């Protein structure tokens, strides 16, 4: 005769076969499996005392919900995705932080995928992850509008810093920050500004350029675009020669990374920032870490991540807001990389 429990029974805190299930939790907590399901998937549907007992039993059994199994009866995985163009870009960190916070508060898991600045890779990545998630935030998407519309026919999508007719979006408005930027440079005596554009398929790069043209026209300042460029340190370094040869006394880069790359190349060429050339970035993610520190146009990236997931959850009928609060505003943060025009 043996003291071992039959296969499948709970012994102490561990089952002898496979991972714990809701039936094991129900047996340990002394409740029905349906009660366990409600407690774990829809908090608040059972009494606080019962829910506490169930969650303790689940912890004792080291229970982990299988999102694929949970999706079978409900069609939901309680998993969301954020697709970014470049996961090494510091501006992504704030967006992900805000998105994760909103997803977690709603009981959803967030996964991150990267497209490496490639539209074709982005489309393939989305095709691969779409069956496993309930909705997707396209952050810094490089896809054409028609491709985003095609994807939206089979999966709930919200775009970030990208507008596509019929697709919910969360965007930042560059106009307030750019208007303050041009006023700042004009007051310092600058009369020619170069804009280092981002990737050719970057929607927000086009909006920043339009805001810059409008503000420069109002101030009587000449402005011209140099690009497209890779939105990286290397892209900024590669654009330095063109920017320096243009005769502009101030350069506004598509993002902070490009601005830093430009400043590196300027230093290597013996061009002083800001004495010989003023430099400005966008996103305001690294400005305080540099010497000279970088003047940049700031947007609430964490807030954008939070709002994008809230809109996605609303589209899914989960906790979230359908209300479009309008674009997130931008503001200029003045630091040491801008100074009086040398001429």
pLDDT digits (tens, 9 = 90+) for 98-148: 999 999 999 899 999 988 777 778 888 888 899 899 999 999 888 999 999
| CATH code of 273's domain | 3.40.50.2300
Cα angle, residue 340 at apex, residues 330 and 206 outer, rounded to 5°: 35
Same domain, 213 and 295: yes
Alpha helices (H) in the chain, listed in sequence order: 22-29, 33-41, 48-60, 67-74, 91-105, 119-129, 145-152, 175-187, 203-219, 233-245, 256-268, 301-316
| pLDDT tens, N- to C-terminus, the chain (343 residues) | 333 333 333 333 344 445 778 888 888 989 988 888 778 766 667 888 888 888 888 888 887 665 555 544 455 788 999 999 888 888 899 999 999 999 999 989 999 998 877 777 888 888 889 989 999 999 988 899 999 999 999 899 999 999 999 999 999 999 999 999 999 999 999 999 999 999 998 999 999 999 999 999 999 999 999 999 999 999 999 999 999 999 999 999 999 999 999 999 999 999 999 999 999 999 999 888 889 999 999 999 999 999 999 999 999 988 766 666 789 999 999 999 999 999 8
Task: State the Cα–Cα distance between residues 197 and 320, nearest whole angstrom.
Answer: 34
In a domain, residue 332? The reply is no
- β-pairing, 14-15 with 79-84? unpaired
- β-pairing, 250-253 with 192-196? parallel
Number of CB atoms found within 10 A of residue 288's CB: 11
Same domain, 91 and 131: yes
Same domain, 20 and 109: no
In a domain, residue 111? The reply is yes
Same domain, 215 and 193: yes
Same domain, 151 and 207: no
**Count of domains forming the chain:** 3
Same domain, 179 and 295: yes
In a domain, residue 29? The reply is yes
Same domain, 266 and 231: yes
Domain extent, residue 242, equals 175-299
| pLDDT score at 72 | 45
3-state helix, strand and coil shares in percent for the chain, rounded to the nearest 5: 45, 20, 40
Task: State the Cα–Cα distance between residues 190 and 211, nearest whole angstrom.
Answer: 17
In a domain, residue 261? The reply is yes
Exposed, middle or buried: residue 155 (CB in 10 Å: 0-12, 13-18, 19+)?
middle
Same domain, 54 and 105: no
Same domain, 251 and 306: no
Same domain, 125 and 236: no
In a domain, residue 128? The reply is yes
Give residue 188's Cα distance to chain centre. 34
| pLDDT score at 16 | 44
In a domain, residue 337? The reply is no
Q: Which residue is it, tokens 């965007």? A: 171
Same domain, 124 and 237: no
Residue 167 has what DSSP assignment? B
In a domain, residue 16? The reply is yes
Tens digit of each residue's pLDDT (9 = 90 or more) over 51-82: 888 888 888 888 766 555 554 445 578 899 99
Same domain, 223 and 310: no
| pLDDT score at 212 | 98
In a domain, residue 306? The reply is yes
pTM for the full predicted model:
0.78
């Amino acid at each position: 005769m043996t003291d071992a429990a039959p296969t499948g029974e709970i012994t102490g805190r561990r089952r002898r076969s496979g991972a714990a299930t809701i039936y094991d939790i129900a047996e340990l907590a002394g409740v029905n499996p349906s009660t366990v399901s409600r407690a774990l998937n829809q908090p608040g549907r059972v009494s606080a005392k019962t829910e506490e007992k169930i969650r303790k039993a689940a912890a004792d059994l080291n229970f982990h919900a299988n999102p694929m199994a949970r999706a079978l009866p409900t069609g939901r995985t309680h998993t969301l995705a954020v697709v970014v163009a470049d996961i090494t870009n510091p501006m992504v960190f704030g967006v992900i932080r805000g998105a994760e916070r909103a997803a977690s508060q709603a009981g959803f898991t967030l996964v991150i995928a990267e497209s490496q600045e490639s539209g074709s890779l982005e489309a393939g990545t989305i095709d691969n992850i779409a069956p496993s998630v309930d909705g997707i935030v396209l952050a810094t998407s490089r896809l054409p509008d028609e491709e985003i519309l095609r994807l939206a026919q089979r999966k709930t999508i919200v775009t970030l810093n990208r507008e596509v007719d019929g697709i919910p979006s969360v965007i930042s408005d560059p106009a307030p920050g750019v208007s303050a930027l041009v006023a700042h440079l004009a007051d310092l005596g600058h009369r020619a500004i170069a804009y280092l554009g981002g990737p050719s398929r970057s929607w927000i790069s086009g909006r920043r350029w339009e805001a810059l043209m409008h503000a420069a026209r109002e101030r009587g300042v000449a402005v011209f675009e140099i690009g497209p460029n890779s939105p990286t340190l290397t892209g900024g370094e590669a654009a330095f020669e063109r920017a320096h040869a243009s005769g502009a006394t101030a350069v506004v880069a598509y993002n902070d990374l490009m601005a830093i790359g430009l400043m590196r190349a300027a230093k290597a060429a013996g061009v002083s920032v800001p004495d010989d050339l003023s430099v400005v970035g966008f996103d305001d993610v690294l400005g305080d870490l540099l010497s000279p520190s970088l003047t940049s146009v700031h947007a609430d990236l964490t807030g954008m991540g939070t709002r994008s997931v809230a809109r996605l959850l609303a589209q899914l009928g989960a906790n979230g807001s359908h209300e479009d609060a309008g674009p997130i505003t931008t503001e200029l943060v003045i630091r040491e990389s801008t100074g009086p025009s040398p001429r």
